[in-house]
Amino acid sequence: MRVLLQPAFILHRRPYRDTSLLLEVFSHEHGRLGLVARGAASARSRLKSVLQPFLPLLLSWSGAGDLANLTAAEETEYPAPRSPSQVLAGLYVNELLVYLLPRRDPLPGLFAAYRTLLVELMTVSDAEPPLRRFEKRLLEELGYGLNLDREAIRGTPIVAEQRYCYVLDQGPLAMIDADATGVPISGRGLLALRDGILADPAVLKEVKRLTRAALAEQLRGRVLKTRELYRIKREH
């Protein structure tokens, strides 16, 4: 199979043999896939500087199975300057996608959301709100979207002034019905995540606990290296 140039992003790259690179790619039409960029790590290869995370690219490849061969790569935009915190946020999202996205499953809506996220990370002062919105969208695309509208048992609308406990395999429960296994969160936090309006720091903290717990369920014990980098950053 030969795929002509199409929009894609590099999620991860690592050396392969002497002069090649192994790439994890998120493409618009084919989802996540692995590519071998032969000769791309050699000193004379122009691809070495092109095949970078966060840079919008047009890629083509040939071959089927889990690992295809990159045949061409073109930049569609020049990379914008990014601060260390922006880069770390982007690496965190890339690591999530590598771990959680199935191979060769087209997710054009998530691809568009990822592109939007990268733009937001370059333009906002606080990366947390766009990260939480993207995590919510990612869970939805994986088929594990959060119930943010109604109480799980009674089906009553979420009330901003009430407290809830979010049980991942059920949804938000009124505190009177909840046990210790859920994530405590206010109605205001649930509604804020539903609407994507995350300006309140206290609400943002609640929402982060919820999305982190939901993602941990999907990661199934796999540890994110970027979480350790965040910890080191906070300590310094």
Same-domain status, 97 and 38: no
Give the pLDDT confidence score for residue 79 in this predicted structure: 67
Give the pLDDT confidence score for residue 178 in this predicted structure: 57
Give the pLDDT confidence score for residue 81 in this predicted structure: 65
Same-domain status, 96 and 202: yes
Distances (CA, A) of 223 to 10, 132, 204: 21, 19, 23
For residue 214, the domain's CATH number is 1.20.1440.120
For residue 32, the domain's CATH number is 2.40.50.140
Give the pLDDT confidence score for residue 155 in this predicted structure: 95
Distance between CA atoms of 225 and 232, rounded to whole angstroms?
A: 11
Same-domain status, 223 and 117: yes
Q: Do the Cβ atoms of 90 and 79 come closer than 8 Å?
A: no
Q: Do the Cβ atoms of 31 and 8 come closer than 8 Å?
A: no
Q: Do the Cβ atoms of 27 and 7 come closer than 8 Å?
A: yes
Same-domain status, 107 and 198: yes
Give the pLDDT confidence score for residue 180 in this predicted structure: 62
Give the pLDDT confidence score for residue 160 in this predicted structure: 97
Q: Which two tokens stand for residue 100?
A: 């959680």
What's the domain count of the chain? 2
Which residues span the domain enclosing 57?
2-75
> Over the chain (236 residues), what is each successive 10-residue block's mean pLDDT?
92 94 97 96 90 95 91 85 88 97 96 96 93 98 97 95 94 77 94 97 97 97 89 71
